[in-house]
Amino acid sequence: MLRKSLVVVVSCLLFFSFVPFGTAHIVSPVDTNAQSTTKSIYNWMTHLPNRTENRLLSGAFGGYSNDTFSMNQAITVKNATGQTPSIYACDYSRGWLDTSNVLDSINYNCNNDLIDHWKKGGFVQVSLHLSNPIYSSGNLNTKITNEQYKRILDSSTTEGKRFESMLSKVADGLNQLKNERVPVLFRPLHEMNGEWFWWGLPSYNENNSERIDLYKKLYQKVFTYMKDTRGLNNLIWVYSPDANRDYKTSFYPGSNYVDIVGLDAYVNDAHSINGYSEMLSLGKPFAFTEIGPQTTNGTYDYSNFINAIQQKYPQAVYFLAWDDKWSPASNLGANNLYNNSWTINRGEIWNGSSLTPIVE
């Protein structure tokens, strides 16, 4: 169907003066000192499932900063569908990179494009594939023991100091966005219930209660550093386990540390994603924080994904499709995904000087 299009002229002043939502029920982010723009956007997102259409923010991954990141994915989606994704994502950290200095694996040069995307009426997400602090650099996928995990949590150790130096550089990038009053969907330490990142489980579906507790402490450490030490009050905190592993809610660090819960769902059948009800039980807005096909031969039909959201996962507030061979533009059904009546693309978020109306 032909989507409506809002012509939006955005100035920097727009982001300093949101129009109040009257008597609508206000839902606040976990950071009580959040910037007014961040508060307004989070509240607006929580009400999206109450709409009959224009209720699901579209998204796309733009790549890793100072490596693969560019606006090409947004352009490719626009060429294929006529729409620009509402959420555009960058990853600050290339944790597989073996360098003489671990901080060289962290880069936030993508910020200029993220700021531009925001000023044109979009939202942004930042994720992190952090290097393993047990080593001087790299080793994203190298497993660690629980004793090594404890050393990362200990600020007095070499590993703990290395981790904190990495957080400091990440915070520098997020602070640049804060100064531009750009709200950020911030997704640290994702897919923790998988066995492929150093912060996750040591082995496949291992019910390791000590590791789970250590993860919670690590997430909380990141939260406390960003919020309290660095004063980054522009962050919307996203918790996102993997849909294809168990223990999705076991790692949950607590309702005081999370704004949005999501699933990273790489599946061939979108109607059989595991964990939706389990994640809703946490009482937070839900999103598909990464999506893509398991079989990457270009035959995945994203029409099935948007149909599955409407039929089985209607509380979802956004989806973020991965790039390259997982991208909707590299598969089938991209036009149906981004032009569905439920989908909100860039240019359909702002209405004059305010967000489009909330529906109770």
Which are the catalytic amino acids? Answer: 191, 290
Query: In 3D, which of 173, 247, 258 has the Cα closest to residue 212?
Result: 247
Given 3-state DSSP classes, what are the helix, strand and coil percentages for the chain, each rounded to the nearest 5? 35, 20, 50
Report residue 265: phi and psi, to 5°.
-125, 100
Distance CA 64, CA 173 (A): 14
Query: In 3D, which of 197, 209, 184 has the Cα closest to residue 152?
Result: 197
10 Å Cβ neighbour count for 346? 24
Distance CA 216, CA 193 (A): 12
Distance CA 131, CA 98 (A): 9
Distance CA 360, CA 358 (A): 6
Distance CA 327, CA 190 (A): 20
Length of the chain measured in residues: 360
Distance CA 90, CA 81 (A): 21
Q: What would the two tokens of residue 69 be?
A: 């990141």
Kindly write down the DSSP assignment for every residue of 52-98, as one continuous string: SSS-EE-EEEEEETTTT--SHHHHHHHHHHS--BSEEEEEEEETT--
> Which amino acid is present at 176?
Q
Q: Which residues pair with 262 in a beta bridge?
A: 287
Half-sphere exposure of 107 (CA within 13 A, CB side): 15
Distance CA 296, CA 26 (A): 41
Output the CA angle 301-63-66, nearest 5 degrees.
165
Task: Please check whether residue 282 is in contact with residue 249, taking contact to mean a CB–CB distance below 8 angstroms.
Answer: yes
